[in-house]
Amino acid sequence: MQEEHQFLPDTDRLSVLTASILLAYALLPFIKIPERSLVIQALGVTFAFKANFATIISVITAGMAAAGTSWLLRDHPHLGRQSSFQHWMIPALTAWVIGVPLSSLEVGLQWWVVFALGGLLLVAVLVSEYITVDPYDTRHGPAAVGLTAVSYALFLILVITLTAAGSRLYVLLPALAGAIFLVTLRNLYLRLNGRWCFSWSAGITLCVIQIAAALHYLPVSPLRFGLLVLGLAYALPSMVGSIEEERPWRTLWIEPVIMLAVLWGMAFALRS
């Protein structure tokens, strides 16, 4: 029987990493850089990509979160020589998604509330990732469940925000595909105790973005769009996890179908 442990990250490292990311976002209201546009013409179609300071900061903070997570985990007694790559995904997604509402809100009470909640969420994600390094940590199960819940919540926020901003399809689909793939890959890894499912994750990503592309051209509100896409993005990995765990076919469909019905029911119950 393996001995159970309880380890927490070094508070100094955790504070430095969190403060660095939040400081980058705190600069958003004070630094104004003209928006830049990149126009590409291909096959008679014009693609226009816009980048501003908020976009740059979101990309930088995602990279900082990934690199910082690796640095934070280096002092874990049970990390050893194993790669910490799998622990970068959700912190990077968290740091990226925090910037989406911050860049669209006016500076005020709401902006600072989102800023503070984003910081608390980032700390919780980093601590949870540290805990999940050791499968025999007494808090491993709750930490894994928490990371799964947070990743899907972040995905929903990202989908709603991008849709509400009126993003073109060639911008929306790559962003959704990257988020779906990372969330699915990480959550299956947590559920299957360290097994990578790249093929399953790629297949699920392809299925979800095809549905998202069809919904994009329908008169669907951002919240309804987000719930419909989230339903598939949750149900399919849940089904795959049950298949990989070799659960009986008569029961493996129950959880994904129930969650899909709940999320889609909420979407269709919306008035707009």
Please give the Cα distance from 268 to 272 (Å, whole number): 9
Question: Is-contact 82 13, C-beta < 8 A?
Answer: no
pLDDT above 70 coverage of the chain, percent: 86
Q: How confident is the model at residue 255 (pLDDT cuts 50, 70, 90)?
A: confident
Give the pairing type, strands 45-51 and 36-42: antiparallel
pLDDT for res 204: 92
Can you give the residue ranges of every domain in the chain?
1-138, 143-165+174-272
Read off the pLDDT of each residue in 126-154 and give the average, rounded to a whole number.
85
Mean pLDDT of the chain: 82
Spell out the SS3 assignment of 15-65: HHHHHHHHHHHHCCCCCCCCCEEEEEEECCEEEEEEECHHHHHHHHHHHHH
Give the separation between CA 64 and CA 18, rounded to whole angstroms.
10
What local confidence, expressed as pLDDT, does residue 105 receive? Answer: 73
Position 41 scores a pLDDT of 61
For the ranges 30-39, 48-57, 162-171, 240-249, which has the lowest average pLDDT?
30-39
Report whether pLDDT(100) > 70.
Answer: yes
Q: Which of 1-5, 161-165, 217-221 has the lowest mean pLDDT?
A: 1-5
Residue 72 near residue 126 (C-beta atoms within 8 A): yes
Among the residue ranges 45-54, 89-98, 196-205, the one predicted with the least confidence is: 45-54
- Burial of residue 194 (CB within 10 Å: 0-12, 13-18, 19+) is exposed
Which pLDDT tens digit goes with each residue over 167-181? Answer: 777 778 888 888 899
1 — pLDDT class (breaks 50, 70, 90)? very low
pLDDT band of residue 205 (cuts 50, 70, 90) is very high
pLDDT at 138: 80
Lowest mean pLDDT among 25-29, 65-69, 126-130, 262-266: 25-29
Q: Decide: 233 and 152 in contact? Cβ < 8 Å.
A: yes
Lowest mean pLDDT among 18-32, 73-87, 167-181, 219-233: 73-87
Confidence class of residue 203 from pLDDT cuts 50, 70 and 90?
very high
Q: Which pLDDT score is estimated for 51?
A: 61
From CA 205, how far away is CA 149, in angstroms rounded? Answer: 18
